[in-house]
Amino acid sequence: MGIASMIMKPKILRAWDVMGQDDYDVDAIMAGFSEDIVWDNTSELGVGETLRGKKDVADWFQRWKKEIPKRKFVVKNICFKGTCLPSPSNVVMVEWGCVDTYKEGTEFQYDGVTVLEMKNQKVFRASEYISFKGLPKLSTLIKPIGKTRKTA
């Protein structure tokens, strides 16, 4: 295991553990992002959204928490590119599975991969690739691909 893995793997696992809590702390999640974060969501359904800035990403996490009050993540694999020391070339790929339980009790299981580009140990770009098989309601949280939300 390289130095990058020893430093970052526990941090990545903790972040996914926090997101898997029923009442997760959005501020704790956002602490790992740069102010100018760009977050791309996509799926095999052709549904996605690009969020720009910490406020937009935090708002999305708040909506997700409200719509889906219970979730459980399983991190399947973490891969690294770069040293994970302050450098513009750090990339982390997290393969995961999730079980979401909606407010009305409906449960869905799905998989995804999140690619995090980091600079100075803060995520400045995140790209998420989600399999929405069986998850029609999750698509209410995102807009069609090609639409970009802009903050004022």
Residue 52, domain CATH? 3.10.450.50
Domain assignment of residue 24, yes or no: yes
Residue 147 lies in a domain: no
In tens, the pLDDT along 100-149 reads 888 888 888 888 899 999 888 889 999 998 876 655 554 455 444 444 45
Q: What is the pLDDT of residues 36-86, one digit of tens each?
A: 999 998 755 556 788 999 999 999 899 888 888 899 999 999 988 866 555
Structural domain that includes position 54? 3-141
Q: What is the 3-state secondary structure (H, E, C) of the chain?
A: CCHHHHHHHHHHHHHHHHHCCCCCCHHHHHCCEEEEEEEEEEECCCECEEEECHHHHHHHHHHHHHHCCEEEEEEEEEEEECCCCCCCCEEEEEEEEEEEECCCCCEEEEEEEEEEEEECCEEEEEEEEECCCCCHHHHHHCCECCCECCCC
Q: Is residue 28 in a domain?
A: yes
150 inside domain: no
Please state the domain count of the chain: 1
- Would you say residue 148 lies in a domain? no
Looking at residue 137, what is its pLDDT? 52
pLDDT of residue 134: 55
Q: Look at residue 151 and tell me if it is in a domain.
A: no
What is the pTM (predicted TM-score) of this model?
A: 0.77
Residue 90 covered by a domain: yes
